[in-house]
Amino acid sequence: MMRCKFIGIMALALVAATGSARAADRLVVGFSQIGSESGWRAAETKVAKMEAEKRGIELKISDAQQKEENQIKAVRSFIAQGVDAIFIAPVVATGWEAVLKEAKDAKIPVILLDRGIDVKDEGLYLTVVRSDAVYEGQVAGEWLAKAATGACNIVELQGTVGASVAIDRKKGFEKIVSETPRLKIVRTQSGDFTRAKGKEVMESFIKAENGGKTICAMYAHNDDMAIGGIQAIKAAGLKPGKDILVVSIDGVPDIFKAMADGEANASVELTPDMAGPAFDALLAFKANGTVPPKWIKTTTRLYQPDTAKAEYERRKDLY
């Protein structure tokens, strides 16, 4: 009886010392996710859940439906709940200062996933886990500069307006185009990283470009828009991958299927595992104050049809 009373008192003391019962056992991370606009995004969410579970972390995910205002609300709600850390995949690069300052004042570390932000004070976040998206655009451009031997009119499907990855993927690709006089971007517009808008925009490009006959290549900032574009090319009676070359970014199973079927030519891989390195950085920071590098850079790799079938099989269940 005496022993039970003693354990009860100790438990109460622990709760008082840590501020809450759950802080004594599990780390709680709030994740403001952009939405589910692409296959890649859905995979990133799935991997984040798996990586959290592996480490015994409680992950609270809030879906922003591609709106920054929803992300800001979610971050404020995570602050009010007193989570141990906040992950944000920022839909656009600007407008983050005020809410990040609130998180900092509450002493809650913030880690950015897969996209960057424009802030004067980089101390507003602990680290960002993302690829070099300028380099991704360059890799796509270099592939095209080799694949298209003659003059080539390119149409570009851009990602979400204001998203760091859309800005950077455009910049990297344009660099190669400017160095290669044979290549010319004749049309460029946002397809908001979705398959439906990619299709819609490509349909309008085809109409404007002599039924698609004056288009040599389509560069899409992600695979989902490329898949939508491929549908539009086929509907116009042209052969994607042959009449119009297709190069995009992500490396999702559907693009490997399209490559295996001869309807796409190249994809630059972006790993969906952004949360794993973020959790590791957070755990080290919480354990002994280890400050991670400001940019945890993921690797970039170009894939082509030669390995498409095997890559599709390898990835189809993960995504």
Q: Are 29 and 282 in contact (CB under 8 A)?
A: yes
Q: Is the dihedral of CA 207, 209, 215, 219 positive or negative?
A: negative
Residue (152 or 220) nearer to ligand AHR, CB: 220
Q: Judging by DSSP bridges, how do beta strands 300-303 and 266-270 pair with one another?
A: antiparallel
Structure tokens belonging to residue 216: 């040599």
Whether 266 and 303 have beta carbons less than 8 Å apart is answered as: yes
Rank residues 212 and 253 by Cβ distance to ligand AHR and give the closer one: 253
Of 62 and 180, the one with the shorter C-beta distance to ligand AHR is: 62
Nearest Cα to Cα of residue 274 among 60, 38, 114:
114
Does residue 270 bind ligand AHR (CB under 6 A)?
A: yes
Among 29, 43, 115, 217, the residue binding ligand AHR under the rule CB under 6 A is 115
- 32 lies in the binding site for ligand AHR (CB under 6 A): no
Give the footprint of ligand AHR on residues 151-190 (CB under 6 A).
165
Residues binding ligand AHR: number (CB under 6 A):
13
The rounded distance, in Å, linking the Cα atoms of 99 and 82 is 15
Taking the complex as a whole, how short is the minimal distance between the CB of residue 238 and ligand AHR, in angstroms?
25
In the window 228-267, what residues touch ligand AHR (CB under 6 A)?
A: 249-250
Smallest distance from ligand AHR to CB 2, Å: 59
Q: From CA 32, how far away is CA 92, in angstroms rounded?
A: 13
Q: CA-to-CA distance for 114 and 270, rounded, in angstroms?
A: 9
* 38 forms part of the interface with ligand AHR (CB under 6 A): yes
Stretch touching ligand AHR by CB under 6 A, among 35-43, 100-108, 176-184, 287-295: 35-43
**Residue 76, C-beta contacts closer than 8 angstroms, at least 6 positions apart:** 99, 102
Q: Out of 32, 45, 158, 222, point to the residue binding ligand AHR (CB under 6 A).
A: 222
Q: How far is the CB of 266 from ligand AHR (least distance, A)?
A: 15
| Nearest residue to 67 (alpha-carbon basis) of 188, 192, 189 | 192
- List residues near ligand AHR by CB under 6 A: 37-38, 40-41, 114-115, 165, 193, 222, 224, 249-250, 270
